[in-house]
Chain A
């Protein structure tokens, strides 16, 4: 590693509407991203983007948008459309990782049609739409587990609207719970590196592999994919270029989180498995524990 160059890694997370869209535990996702970066010596700056703030795509490496109450969602929808729409589109087309939960997910689809009143227009990032079928149709409330990328994601869902996917690819297949609409066993949506989901709980604490996936995407996007092939992040977050030692990691195209230093995630996976067990998904629970520590079985 003689002629290697080291530099400090830093990421900036844009947190959209933290004051308006903060219903139940969305903050947990931010806490988890920050700490998982910090433990690897990666600096994660979190910038709040409130109503009226412009979104300059160049300034961020990752975006998060949560869910809120209906009353608070209307001005947000307006602002998203008028002020941040173009920046957000540009960021997403440029492969920026975006996590949109619940209300945020609905706002990134085409529209939200309430039981009464006019449609709320969304950004149309996901080719999907949401319909609220009125107070007589039960809300989708409860624990949820889905299949994602060969593993499981667990969380809690609580939504009145039913989301239907057009050409959008779902985030995963529902193993237990309702998902997008309680009809087609799909949950969430993916467009490029933007992920929409109904899962909170919070989502990321019990799904460390998904948290790392997002961090990995952001790192790869910022520091370039090719560089990763011969590079290595050490425990202090220094990133070494041109290391040609036998220990260099092999990067799989589909899993950017592999380059991250594994953390001690036993507690995370036990919590994950415990919820799977509660839902009666015993095999998935066993599989989750054999996947511990953020390492994927090759």
Chain B
């Protein structure tokens, strides 16, 4: 039974959020097209017979959209991915059929971390460049969601509405990447990075890398690959590819971990350490985090490729204002090879996300100006650092879903020795990964003595509290809010009482000390996310900031709770601070 409940909950939460946000991003440049709709442009492959596929496509569109409407009407769910699933059932090639009609083609973004923010940056930049940007909804990054994103925009005649100046940006789950690449003719494919994430779902990091490598084998050489030079696995994908490959990376030695931490290198989760060519171990001249940095293999000479777009200097002006100097060899012939870009988000990981977006833009020949404005005016996506006002406090949400992501969030929070009010939410639903062992790879030690107040919540709150205990956080410094009471604890036989009894029976002297311990106050007698949020907010003085760091479904729960309290998207999408 336990298996079913969380996923149903998740589904509800996810769909609600989707409806609210709109499936396709309405963009600033949304204007009626002046172009006639009849000609399908950019079509790279011809349908077997011109008439039948478009009839089938029309049927598929109608079928899918009817199913979606029906499912919404019957409250079976938001009816978003069903649109694509039904349409694909009717016409398996519907996605390819529609995608080829986009005037500017499709940009596909994948990787472990930063997919959503990178696609967000790209969307903002391309919109500012005057393109009409279509996106799949965040979280709907499997085949069904991607199909829906196109089918919803199609007409009953099987053609896209207003495909002129249109470009689609598809955020794709790393495991379904090969499938998508086979269906969607991609103009640009971005690989942000590869870290361990949900081993129970994806398998090992190496198997994801092998999957990608295989998928690229079938990719058209017209496609441009945009790769992270600083991530060995991602960069290596460019080696065997016959088409154009562009790399982005960081060239600022001041960001080296050793330069950052005088007290020695922090624990880092390193998922790639072996050269895929020869099996030798990589050495690093600079390491920014995990296995990201300037690496080379001493054995065979394999090394980090020289990036085309590189951040030569990165400075943090504020918690969420990072200023970087970007140098681009793609702009070599122009007056401005170097450009300052301000990123309105914290952390090195967002520097990479912004660099990826800048590289994509330059790959499709977009100049600096929209890159600068698109990134600087970017509004954080829910859960990626935006501000929400709640009872006089500011709440900031920082999604952390895997060890490297979590480490980087912690580093961003505690880097300058600042004290923070923190709420951690650890869930083990399917979308989070059922295995929570990875919390032992996260360097929670850096939070010790740096939390002003700390609340630990979620379906695995006790596990996280235990992790923090072993990191050295005093137990009276944190409140643990679980999702439900432990039935095994009976009120009349409290632990303390039983311990006392047993201590007497066993005549063990050292337990006398334990008897004087206060009762187990750190475990709250309230349960659930609403309580957790309340107690974290209450502990945060008015005017100060509470940082909530949830896993994926924890984020959805918080979102739902905020919505329930009337903190609508209007509030959190506005940059009111």
Tell me, yes or no, whether A182 is within 8 Å of chain B by CB.
no
Contact call A202/B440, Cβ cutoff below 8 A: yes
> Binary interface profile of A, 261-277, with partner B (CB < 8 Å = 1, else 0)?
11010111011011011
Q: Which 8 A-B pairs have the closest CB atoms?
A: A28-B440, A25-B437, A25-B440, A285-B488, A271-B462, A24-B437, A69-B204, A286-B488
Tell me, yes or no, whether B565 is within 8 Å of chain A by CB.
no
> Complex Cα distance A298/B511, Å?
16
> Binary interface profile of B, 408-423, with partner A (CB < 8 Å = 1, else 0)?
0000000000000000
Contact call B482/A274, Cβ cutoff below 8 A: yes
Binds B, one of A6-14, A70-78, A92-100, A212-220: A70-78
19 CB < 8 A contacts A-B: A25-B437, A25-B440, A28-B440, A31-B440, A31-B471, A70-B204, A70-B206, A75-B279, A156-B435, A202-B437, A202-B440, A205-B440, A235-B510, A264-B517, A266-B520, A267-B466, A277-B488, A295-B502, A295-B506
B204, B436, B514: the one contacting A293 at CB < 8 Å is: B514
Tell me, yes or no, whether B39 is within 8 Å of chain A by CB.
no
Q: How far is the CB of A173 from chain B (nearest CB, A)?
A: 21
Tell me, yes or no, whether A27 is within 8 Å of chain B by CB.
yes
B274, B462, B499: the one contacting A270 at CB < 8 Å is: B462
Residue of chain B at shortest CB distance from A157: B435
> Binary interface profile of A, 30-44, with partner B (CB < 8 Å = 1, else 0)?
011001000000000
Contact call A24/B438, Cβ cutoff below 8 A: yes
Contact call A277/B435, Cβ cutoff below 8 A: no
> Chain A residues near B336 (CB, 8 Å)?
none
Using a CB–CB cutoff of 8 Å, the interface residues on chain A facing chain B are: 19, 22-28, 31-32, 35, 69-72, 75, 141-143, 156, 158, 200-202, 205-206, 235, 247, 249, 261-262, 264, 266-268, 270-271, 273-274, 276-278, 280, 282, 285-286, 288-290, 292-293, 295, 297-298
Contact call A273/B199, Cβ cutoff below 8 A: no
> Chain A residues near B511 (CB, 8 Å)?
262
> Complex Cα distance A71/B434, Å?
24
Q: How far is the CB of A297 from chain B (nearest CB, A)?
A: 8
Residue of chain A at shortest CB distance from B267: A27
Contact call A71/B437, Cβ cutoff below 8 A: no
Contact call A273/B434, Cβ cutoff below 8 A: no
Contact call A247/B206, Cβ cutoff below 8 A: no
A28, A142, A270, A286: the one contacting B523 at CB < 8 Å is: A270
> Chain B residues near A267 (CB, 8 Å)?
462, 465-466, 469, 475, 522-523
Tell me, yes or no, whether B196 is within 8 Å of chain A by CB.
yes
> Chain A residues near B436 (CB, 8 Å)?
156, 201
> Complex Cα distance A249/B441, Å?
37
> Complex Cα distance A256/B520, Å?
28
> Complex Cα distance A19/B269, Å?
10
> Chain A residues near B391 (CB, 8 Å)?
none
> Complex Cα distance A268/B466, Å?
7
> Chain A residues near B469 (CB, 8 Å)?
267
> Complex Cα distance A261/B511, Å?
9
> Chain B residues near A282 (CB, 8 Å)?
487-488
> Complex Cα distance A252/B520, Å?
31
> Complex Cα distance A121/B436, Å?
31
Tell me, yes or no, whether B46 is within 8 Å of chain A by CB.
no
> Chain B residues near A285 (CB, 8 Å)?
486-488
> Chain A residues near B509 (CB, 8 Å)?
247
> Binary interface profile of B, 468-508, with partner A (CB < 8 Å = 1, else 0)?
01110001000000100011110000010011001000111
Q: How far is the CB of A215 from chain B (nearest CB, A)?
A: 15
> Complex Cα distance A28/B470, Å?
9
Tell me, yes or no, whether B439 is within 8 Å of chain A by CB.
yes
Contact call B440/A27, Cβ cutoff below 8 A: yes
Contact call B463/A290, Cβ cutoff below 8 A: no
> Chain A residues near B482 (CB, 8 Å)?
274
- Beyond A264-B517, A298-B506, whether A25 also contacts B488 by CB under 8 A is no
> Binary interface profile of B, 299-313, with partner A (CB < 8 Å = 1, else 0)?
000000000000000
> Chain B residues near A264 (CB, 8 Å)?
514, 517
Residue of chain A at shortest CB distance from B444: A31
A26, A156, A266, A298: the one contacting B495 at CB < 8 Å is: A266
> Complex Cα distance A25/B402, Å?
12
Contact call A24/B196, Cβ cutoff below 8 A: yes
- Beyond A25-B437, A25-B439, A262-B508, whether A205 also contacts B487 by CB under 8 A is no
Contact call A143/B434, Cβ cutoff below 8 A: yes
Contact call A24/B475, Cβ cutoff below 8 A: no
Tell me, yes or no, whether B467 is within 8 Å of chain A by CB.
yes
> Chain B residues near A289 (CB, 8 Å)?
486, 488-489, 495
> Binary interface profile of B, 346-368, with partner A (CB < 8 Å = 1, else 0)?
00000000000000000000000
Contact call A205/B486, Cβ cutoff below 8 A: no
Contacts beyond the supplied A200-B437, A267-B522, A277-B486: 8 A-B pairs with Cβ under 8 Å: A24-B437, A70-B204, A247-B507, A262-B508, A274-B486, A288-B488, A293-B502, A293-B514
> Chain A residues near B499 (CB, 8 Å)?
292-293
> Complex Cα distance A295/B204, Å?
39
Residue of chain B at shortest CB distance from A32: B470
Contact call A206/B463, Cβ cutoff below 8 A: yes
> Chain A residues near B317 (CB, 8 Å)?
none
Contact call B486/A270, Cβ cutoff below 8 A: yes
